[in-house]
Structure 1
Amino acid sequence: MLTWGDWMDHSLGNGTPYVDWFDILHENRRGNKPEFVKQIVPRTPDTFQSLDKGVEALDGVGPAGEDTGTGAPEPYVIRSPKFMTNTKFADWWNTRPDPTGWLPSAATFDYPTVEDDTVVVGIIDVGLSLGHRRFRLADGRTRVLGCWLQGAPVDGLGEIPERAPYLPFGGHLFEGQINTTLAQFSVGQDLQAPLKQEGFNRATCLTHYPLADADRDLAGRVSHGTHVMGLAGGADPDCIQGREFGQKTRFLLVSLPPALAFGEGGTFLDFYLIYALRWLVEVNARIAEKSGLDKPRPMVINASFGKHAGSKDGAQPFVNAMLNHARSGRLAATGVDEVTRRVPLHAVLPAGNSNLDRATAKLTLTPTDGPRAEIDWVIQPDDDTSNFLEVWCESTTENALGQCDLAIELVPPGQSPAGESAGAAGQIQELFRTTSEESVQHLARIYCQRIDPPNGDADQGDTRRRFRYLLCLGPDRHRSDVWANPPSGRWKVRLKNLSPDKALTVSLMVQTDQPVRSGSSATRVSYLDDPTYEKFTKDGRNRDTYEYGFHGLSGSGAVARDLDTAEFVKRHGTLNSYAANSSVATIAGYRASDGRPAEYSSTGKGVEEGPDGRSAPTAAFPTDDGYAHLGVLSDGASDGSMVAMQGTSFASAMATRTIVNAWLARQHDPYGKVPINQFLASTAQRQAAPKGWFKSPVDVEKVGTGRIVFESRRRTSC
């Protein structure tokens, strides 16, 4: 028999519910596992002063959000794999020689230099192949100014990549080191000769075999980051167009650590991204100083990452960081954060690929007519990872007892409901299986949190205070001395409105699932089941958010028919939660051959917007070449190879290149007041639909203001 305990108070300290759940599972898991250690992360990339009490934060001194006396709250404390973590970083920060900065100044470090007409492509990704010919100049030198390999092992590293006391993870490579290593592994040490790529990748720690948990993304046929890199900034130096493009564009790269470092449900992904964003903008500024320029060169950052569940506004750490950075872009500043405020933030993110995953539900509970609702959460068998469901109660406050107005119950498969109950902010509820009179085994937790407006700043116009329940189920193949395996099957989520006089809008979102062990972890993604949800159309196609007729059957003046008609489970509102904000360009996908939107490309709307929210993508770029040619072509893991990969990550990379081309052609001012969001939207509106596209209308919530035609890889780079 499985039984839920009573709600009880639970302090998260300066962590999050995801971090707390990670600690429980990792501490009690049997068998081989990577060792994790504590590390500190700033709250936002333009307020690094929050690290000033880093040592105390690691020791657990002070609750989360407590003012340290520096005007900034306590930093986040995360768990990172020990093999890639600089465990002395907090000590270095508190005794650093220059208390006004993070990275070394241009006067004390040998940063590369650039010309005053250079455009920088910033990429945050995994599996970035630095040795490819299309990422080098005609003379064989690299176009990569610098690369931070966050997942590189810190033990036994020499000069390549270089360890540094100011890097909390991994090591870095700059232009000179890359060129030296390219020459070392080129035939005859000639930069224009063929490259011994496997030796180069090992020497630079782009691949690392001695440690089972280290990075090996470039050991296979395809690589996500290399594919993105090729679309965003790749160019063939053996032709005129490629040489011209390559001469004027450079890369700044952050290679994120292996997936196991992110934790289940992307627990720590936000925090690696916060560091990555700050490193890119600060290095770009230092390079400009080294080059004798008065301001950083224009840089557009492509971050083809995201999560499905989340607040869809600035309440998430990384999203809050981007919003803060965008707001402060042109404002005057002094001290440690000055370098991050000299140029506007230009960032491009994918809309997401979860449109058909049955991972979002939305419902309204009225006080009298419909105070209750029930939905199935299906947990698949043989899952090595935890499953998470976020339940957001929008626009609500505490009741007289200090509890959420929304009561909840998670009913295990095959059991009868016991009754919904409401938690208060900072409380948890645990699910037990009694195995004897003296012992119990834990299976799941529900965390109740009150989510205040982003930054806690009511002056920004966002006065909402919402509640979130985070439902955590351990893996059903989890090996633990303490935690049992929850059963797979249909778990019922039962909700009840306790308010006597107001309706409650409730959103449910299944969190992104990903492997947490080296090798091939089984990640069987859970989903919400609704008997009114239709997966296919009458002709057998996947049922998208809207209906698209065949070529010539529908006029462009018609209204797109909404097919998202299920009672609870929705395709609307499936936008990548990192990209559902106004500070970035959010890119959807479509099929290049006939203009049909990609069925998997996430749809906007369905969520309540805050002042920084987003109800639709910015625009759409191709994610598939045709009905029988899935994906788009770009660089493979090996130099000279070409592969097809599918998803809005690669539409995002095309948008990044479009921005770069616009800057080079002086069609957009990177220092001006028109954001790239607005530029891409107007570009989509100006372009006429190519001949041969189907004539059915598409809705703004699916593709934004329109579909932008992207020139093929061969045409843009010979």
Structure 2
Amino acid sequence: MNTVIDWENGNSYEAADPYLAWAELTQYQHFRLRSSEVRRWMVLIHLKVSGRDAPIEALIKNSGDEWLQVSPIYRRADIAAKRFAFCTARVGKEFFAAVASGSLKDLVLAYRLCLPVEYPVDPLKATGDPTDSPADGDGKTILALIDGGLALGHRAFLDANGESRIRHFWRQDDYSGSRYLNDARRTSDPLHSTDPWQPGMMGYGAELDRFALNKALAAHRLRGSLDESALYQDLGLWELDRLAHHGTHVFSLAAGPFRYPEQFCGNDQSINWEAKEEVASTCDLMAVQLAWANVLDTSGRSADANILDALMYLLARCPEKSRLIVNTSWGAHAGPHDGSSILEQAMLAWCDLRAPGQLQIVLSAGNHYQSRGHANAQIDAGGVRALPWRVPPESYTPHFLELWFEPDQMGSVEISLESPDSTQASLSVSERQPFAMGSGGATLVLVNRAYLGRGTVALLALNPTAGNGGAILAAAGLWTVRIENVGGQPLKVDAYIERNDVALGLFTGARQSHFEDELYNDQEGVDVPSKFKPPTSYSDNRSVIRRTGAFSSLATGSNSSKYSSHRQVFSVGACVALAGGQEWPAPYSPRLHDTSDRPRRPEVKQSPDCMAPGDERVELWGVRGAASRSGAVVRLGGTSVSVAQVVRTLANGGDPKPPLAPGEIVQ
């Protein structure tokens, strides 16, 4: 094993990250790395707050420089003064020994593996201590984006004089290409380390300030017209050769010089540069381009560390007295869904680093309400529940399923996995044997106190069902997960299939799996009784598959911390605009609470904090927004579009609309 953790020892699963166990047991083959290439790991860390030292300073003091690197941003005096207890780190194998039984045992509460796909974790580059927050712009509102594919030269992000509204732009990649996209020519080509790019203040990536951006814009203007394609080629932003990108479209709706109704069909995309009362149309902007290794890994496993780094970067670049509203629509499907994940806790703590109301984060609630990716059940003592799991053919990426139980339930559960091919023996895990690997490309890991969040979790991982990388392929078809309650009390379980789809403009070969259940009513848009079987319990709905609770894993926490009465973190669902100003919940979006008597784990989030239009009409999907070049528009829909509307509303001093109540839903 690359780490010092003995995964053959059952005690290693008392408290752990099951994805680290899976990565080690499968020798990192699904990260598109050779095991010998993995010498460092990127981790997101939650620290204990105690003693005189600030938590991050205590972490560094009790670690070795040769096996733990933390970006200087986390060591700023204002961060230490707030006793911020979250950070990212690049660690060696000694870190895991120190957490298990060494100098970090009583300091590290939890860590999450955030290893990027296809690239080894390099050491941080040498950087000086980050300067204090800039003073220019104090007291103003700044909008920020954390996403992928932002067209920096698009007219939506320039002011009336043609100069950039973007104060700072950080691209997290150290290279300008991707093995994932078979882009060998750019794979090992470092981003420009000279003008106009500057080294990233976080120790990796590269950044541009407004001066550098305006200089680059001026260099590519001819007779007043900007050659955007030449600009992006010169900056090495190869991805902007594609017609549309998620980041450009979303941010144009949040901060572009047009109001939302002007995007509806029948209206021109009129740009009103005189609308000075619109803060969102004229305010300063900042943006972070997530590393493409994370954007391409749509399961979301690797992005958490980069998202927290992005938030810390934006904080450092934001004037101390300014208001900062962050738009991020990234997120995975699996996780505890009760706000206990490390990143969700870190986001709330981040909002407390400035005065109440100064820092706000707006998150997508997700688009998988109808994807059959969530199951919920209560299993009586001695009972068994089967979950049929349909895994598609021609899928080039791994599939993951997480089973979440209440805390300390490891001794009450036994889990088995049966393949579609009856010739392969089933795998099983329990407290006595917390891991299992099969010849058919399946791995099971059971962890009592999950580092991923609050509760006991089982991870079921399947290899791709297609590919030519030499790895064993899993069988496509109907896998069966069996959960047996061997304890004396009823057992509540939530099952979440991890996201496995393709990001806009890219091709990874990912295909989404789902649950199947003959009691599931797929003729309706909400959880209603099956038309085919007579219901007997759970408020007349016996299907194990539940739309309610299908939620983005980053948006399931509280919207304010115990230190602030202000709403700080918003989860946003989507609705469809109807004639006469009425609205209807979008079919793909989370919406209402489950009012049935169905047993469930405590604090699992079911409905978003607010809603905004994600589709123009019932018969016209999506909303028009910016494509990758000025003057071109593209229609995209989903809760990401809704997030942009809430960001714009907040910037302009408005209040987001709450979710529609049952009586408000137009039939």
If the length of structure 2 is used for normalisation, what is the TM-score?
0.77
Q: 1:631 to 1:507 in 2, by over 3 A?
A: same
The residue type equivalent to 2:473 in the other structure is N
Cα deviations by residue, 1:356-399 (Å, 9 ceiling, x for unpaired)? 1010100111115xx111121011111101110101122x425x
- Shift of the alpha carbon at 1:251? 0.8
Q: CA 1:625–1:32 in structure 2 vs 1: closer, same or farther (change >3 Å)?
A: same
Return the alpha-carbon distance in structure 1 between the equivalents of residues 433 and 448 of structure 2.
Answer: 8
| Counterparts of residues 342-421 of structure 1 (less than 5 Å) | 344-367=358-381, 371-394=383-406, 396-398=407-409, 403-415=410-422
Q: Deviations over 1:515-561 (max 9, x none)?
A: 59996222121100001112124xxxxx33479xxxxxxxxxxxxxx
3-state SS of paired residue (1:266): coil
Indicate if the aligned counterparts of 1:633 and 1:643 stay in contact, CA closer than 8 A. Answer: yes
Aligned residues of 1:131 and 1:197 also touching (Cα < 8 A): yes
Q: Please, which moves more after superposition, 600-609 or 643-652?
A: 600-609
User: Within 5 Å, which residues of 2 pair with 1:40-439?
Assistant: 40-43=42-45, 48-49=56-57, 50=59, 53=63, 55-57=66-68, 58-63=91-96, 65=99, 68=104, 78-80=114-116, 87-89=122-124, 92=126, 98=129, 103-105=130-132, 114-153=136-175, 155=190, 157-160=192-195, 162-164=197-199, 166-188=201-223, 193-205=224-236, 207-208=237-238, 216=239, 218-235=240-257, 239-241=273-275, 245=279, 248-259=282-293, 263=297, 265-284=299-318, 288=319, 295-326=320-351, 328-329=352-353, 344-367=358-381, 371-394=383-406, 396-398=407-409, 403-415=410-422, 422-424=429-431, 427-432=434-439
* Alignment check: 8 A CA contact 1:30 1:479 kept: no
Q: 1:641 to 1:426 in 2, by over 3 A?
A: farther
SS of equivalent to 2:480:
strand
Closer, same or farther: CA 28–137 of 1 in aligned 2, 3 Å: closer
- 1:470 corresponds, among 459, 474, 478, to 459
**Residue ranges of structure 2 left out of the alignment (5+ in a row):** 1-6, 48-53, 69-90, 176-188, 259-270, 530-537, 560-568
Conserved? CA contact 1:138–1:238, under 8 Å = no
- TM-score (ref. length: structure 1): 0.71
Distance 1:140 1:25, change over 3 A: farther
Deviation at 1:466, TM superposition (A): 2.3
How is 1:511-590 mapped onto 2 (pairs within 5 angstroms)?
511-514=498-501, 520-537=507-524, 543-545=525-527, 565-583=541-559, 584-590=569-575
Deviation at 1:76, TM superposition (A): 5.5
Whether the 8 Å contact between 1:587 and 1:621 is mirrored in structure 2 is: yes
Counterpart secondary structure, 1:521: coil
Give SS of 2:337's match. Answer: coil
Aligned pair count reads: 577
Aligned partners of 2:628 and 2:400: how far apart in 1?
32
Cα distance in structure 1, aligned partners of 2:157 and 2:298: 33
Helix, strand or coil for the counterpart of 1:432? coil
Report if aligned partners of 2:42, 2:305 keep a CA contact under 8 Å in 1. no
The question of whether the paired residues in 2 share the 8 Å contact of 1:141 and 1:179 is answered with yes
SS in 2 for 1:228: helix
Percent of aligned pairs sharing the same letter: 22
- CA change 1:202–1:75 in 2 (3 A) is farther
User: Per the alignment, in what secondary structure is the counterpart of residue 389 of structure 2?
Assistant: strand
Q: Which residue of 2 aligns with 1:291?
A: none
2:646 aligned with 1:655: yes
- Call closer, same or farther: CA 1:604–1:454 in 2, change over 3 Å: farther
In 1, the alpha carbon distance for the partners of 2:39 and 2:201 equals 17
Q: Is the 8 A contact 1:264 1:385 kept in 2?
A: no
Shift of residue 301, structure 1, vs aligned partner:
0.9
Aligned residue number for residue 623 of structure 2 = 632
Question: The residue matched to 2:115 in structure 1 has which SS?
Answer: strand
Could you tell me which amino acid in structure 2 is paired with residue 316 of structure 1? S
Work out the CA distance in 2 between the residues paired with 1:261 and 1:33: 21
**What letter corresponds to residue 306 of structure 1 in structure 2?**
G
Q: Does 1:496 align with 2:529?
A: no
Shift of 1:587: 1.0
Does 2:577 correspond to 1:592?
yes
Q: Residue 591 of structure 1 contacts residue 623 of structure 1 at CA under 8 Å; is this kept in 2?
A: yes
CA RMSD of aligned residues (A): 3.9
Q: Which amino acid aligns with 1:276?
A: A
Aligned-residue offset at 1:311: 0.5
SS of corresponding position for 1:18: helix
Q: Which amino acid aligns with 2:194?
A: E
Matches of 1:16 and 1:528, distance apart in 2: 24
1:475/1:485 contact within 8 Å kept: yes
